[in-house]
Amino acid sequence: MSENVPLPKAPEIWPEVTPYWDAAVEGRLVVMRCLSCEKHYVHPRPFCPHCGSDRTEWCDAAGTGTIYTFTITDRAPVFKVPAMVQLAEGPIMMTAIVDCDPAFVEIGQQVSVAFQPTEDGPPLPVFKPV
C-alpha cells in the first residue's frame, strides 16, 4: 500500500473463524477442506457446501491465485482495488489488490497473498501481482 493510507479496521473475530485469523497473524492463508469430497471452500461453516459432509478441516492454502474480477475506486477509504481472487485450491475469495498501479490490474492476472496490518487486530489477507 502507498504511504498516507489509513489502516483498515480490525475484523470482528467470531469463534468459528479463530483459526483463520490465528493463521493470518503467522503469515499463513488457510481455507477449509472437506475430508469427504476433498473440495476446498473459503467461508467457514461446520459442513461442506459441496456435499453436505460435516467432515471438514482447516488447511494451509498455497497463497496464490488469479484475479477473477475487480474494480477500481477512488472513494474507498483504504483499498483502491477491491477484488475477487480465485485461489489455486479453487474457491473464490473477496480481497483487495495492493502494491501495484491499478491501471495495470487485469482479470486472469497471477497474484500472491500478502498481509496488510489493521488497527489493533490481525492482518488482512490481500493480494499483489507476481
**pLDDT tens digits along 34-91:** 999 999 999 899 899 999 999 999 999 999 999 999 999 988 788 999 999 999 999 9
Q: What is the domain range of residue 61?
A: 15-129
Residue 124 lies in a domain: yes
Residue 15 CA to residue 13 CA, distance in Å, equals 7
Average pLDDT, the chain: 94
* 18 φ/ψ angles, rounded to the nearest 5 degrees: -55, -45
Q: If pLDDT is split at 50, 70 and 90, which confidence band does 23 have? A: very high
User: What confidence category does residue 114 fall into, taking pLDDT thresholds of 50, 70 and 90?
Assistant: very high
For residue 1, is it within any domain? Answer: no
DSSP 7-72: PPBPPP--GGGHHHHHHHHTT--EEEEETTT--EESS--SS-TTT--S-EEEEE--SEEEEEEE--
> What is the C-alpha separation between 3 and 14, in angstroms, rounded?
31
Examine residue 8 and state whether it is found in any structural domain, yes or no.
Answer: no
Domain count, the chain: 1
Q: What is the mean pLDDT of residues 12-25?
A: 95
